Structure 1
């Protein structure tokens, strides 16, 4: 009886995790495919940066246009509708014969995945108030897991007749099945947290009904920087391995980068009571490792550094989300949408700039600049940590 009840509680969680998995799947696959897409459409690194930023621009504007609608229209209809939209985007990409229609398809894909991302996370917060902080580690780990699997598929499929489009075809099919399952399931809360009850990080149940705008603004800045650097590294890591390290296994480096985030994010879920330390240490450690990676020319050493950097990077997102849950009041979708906008802006600006930067000064200088930018996250993490401590004491 208890086992059946647990299964019923987690049925929605499974589909939300699958939705986030597919977003990570798309991210990792697109990053690993960019080099081959550039070869097929005759795009240099500057143009590849622009084509990468098209999707990220869509992830930026989607929450701006539709950010608060999920709290009003309902998360079920939004999640189902935009999962179906990514199927449509996949069809456009598969039929594309040059870079312009491909860019249109990728724009639609980025728009859809952005909505899916913030709605799925907000629904996890709402449906599981008792265990929401631990589940943030799991949900971000699933994103990383999807990003691990996709580059391997790209690497295996690149030499067949369908090439990199095999990845987008698989994304299209899985998303179609997922849209049907989301439409069928109930989105009613699976847990109930009574007033004054303690949640999984030891905090009280209620964090207030109002959004804490100062805290949310700091989280947005942290994610603007982090996701911008993460995408700059992710999209051009294959090119760095090819041109700077003289390795043909750049897709494997992309996979390692995301693979390291899985244990990192799971551990963050279990050790969420240490989130103050983790939020500060994660971007600092990642910045140091990125600076070291920029000078490496040995393939195996590069693999080790990429994995370690991914481990540190992986801790940023789940810890930001636990603070977002505390700062959002009753407007979870609105706050997660704001953070998603920040990630889209960061990804768009830094990915586009990196392509031109690499053309001008090369990979070594470009990665070092990204490392300095990422280190700035510590300056914005410290006020979040100390301000939250003051709010709790007050």
Structure 2
């Protein structure tokens, strides 16, 4: 059922535009601590292992927000969940800014992730329910990439050892201003427009649906391994570049990665309806394996930056295409499928951060990058199995792009 939120008038289309800004802020949150890595490690006298714990709890918070948001939407409505997500992020940033201590920062990271997770799941499920969903979700992911790109660039150009605390204040100000715009817009909507959806109480959970169980498991595995690569690669890239001798190139490398993500997702947004999704996922994963293996061995800074750019291009379209394809494969439970996919992604980002942080601290940068390459192998295997599974039955044909290879 298409949410009322996206039907009808031009005013309703503005909700999609707000969704793009939501995703922009989510992008900045995903790289928030990673971009501040040099300042955090120096100020708190911590190492990559402690950074892993911070990233882990941020993604556990993200997972919590993802899993709770469908429940909260049913009880409170769409608008309330989106508003609560913004308020939670603002409160978490203020906590990290005003209360000193590494433990408090980790707690703030948890709540920051919770707010971002609730926003991403709610907005993403709306858009997937719309016509041309592959194109629309790709556009929103472009804004996600822009946020993740521009934030580290801003840090690189403006922040010093003495001023990095003001990044928290700047983010609080931007989110507060957007919250005011969002509340003003919501007040102009008709009564009930942002209310909870009508639920079909007879619909079983996907976890107990034998017909869709294999697709759900493969979808979860794919999202788990993908987020383990994309998010952790961006977060650990400054430390990896530092280990590989690029002392002053860490944030520039992160910006290079997210520039490639933005470019790739912009192209995907224009061509999404023409793609064969499972073939695209297999090809992207295979190329990523090769590029990561070469990057692990590369020693020249220029070569490393070029490889980072192409790794970003390979990663760019995988999440929006896989998310849309998975949800449409299970078209009678789009909200639940979206929640599982994003939850698995947040869990992958959290759990695999420990593995990568451990390998970086104890075996060096090359070892950590080879861990990413191994995850890409698992990603490739999941894409192949998804294709084999869908050959046994027909994928819903809402857009032409949502057909499996045959």
State the TM-score bracket (shorter-chain normalisation): 0.7 to 0.9
For 1:367 and 1:391, the matched residues in 2 are separated by 37
1:312-347 residue CA offsets vs partner (Å, 9 max, x unmatched): 011210111211330343543322221122112111
Alignment of 1:121-270 (within 5 A): 121-126=124-129, 129-159=130-160, 161-163=162-164, 165-183=165-183, 184-185=185-186, 186=189, 188=193, 211=206, 212-270=212-270
For 1:188 and 1:124, the matched residues in 2 are separated by 16
For 1:149 and 1:254, the matched residues in 2 are separated by 10
1:176-235 residue CA offsets vs partner (Å, 9 max, x unmatched): 12223333334959xxxxxxxxxxxxxxxxxx9985343232111101001112233212
CA contact (8 A) 1:358 1:366 kept: yes
CA contact (8 A) 2:56 2:350 kept: yes
TM-score, scaled to structure 1: 0.87
Alignment of 1:269-280 (within 5 A): 269-272=269-272, 273-274=274-275, 275-280=277-282
For 1:8 and 1:307, the matched residues in 2 are separated by 38
Q: 1:379 to 1:72 in 2, by over 3 A?
A: farther
For 1:47 and 1:363, the matched residues in 2 are separated by 17
CA contact (8 A) 1:67 1:338 kept: no
Shift of residue 247, structure 1, vs aligned partner: 3.0
Query: Tell me, which stretches of 5 or more residues in structure 1 are unaligned?
Result: 190-207
Q: Which residue of 2 aligns with 1:89?
A: 92
CA contact (8 A) 2:145 2:261 kept: yes
CA contact (8 A) 1:284 1:378 kept: yes
Higher relative contact order (CA 8 A, sep 6+): 1
Query: How many pairs align?
Result: 369
CA contact (8 A) 2:238 2:251 kept: yes
1:93-115 residue CA offsets vs partner (Å, 9 max, x unmatched): 11132211111111110111111
For 2:351 and 2:377, the matched residues in 1 are separated by 17
Q: 1:276 to 1:188 in 2, by over 3 A?
A: farther
Q: Which residue of 2 aligns with 1:196?
A: none
Q: Which residue of 2 aligns with 1:37?
A: 40
Query: Tell me, which stretches of 5 or more residues in structure 2 are unaligned?
Result: 1-7, 195-202, 207-211, 397-406
Aligned partner of 2:304 among 302, 305, 330: 302
Aligned partner of 2:328 among 326, 329, 333: 326
RMSD: 2.3
Shift of residue 392, structure 1, vs aligned partner: 2.3
CA contact (8 A) 1:23 1:113 kept: yes
1:122-176 residue CA offsets vs partner (Å, 9 max, x unmatched): 12223xx22211111111111111000000111123226322x333222212211
Q: Which residue of 1 aligns with 2:111?
A: 108
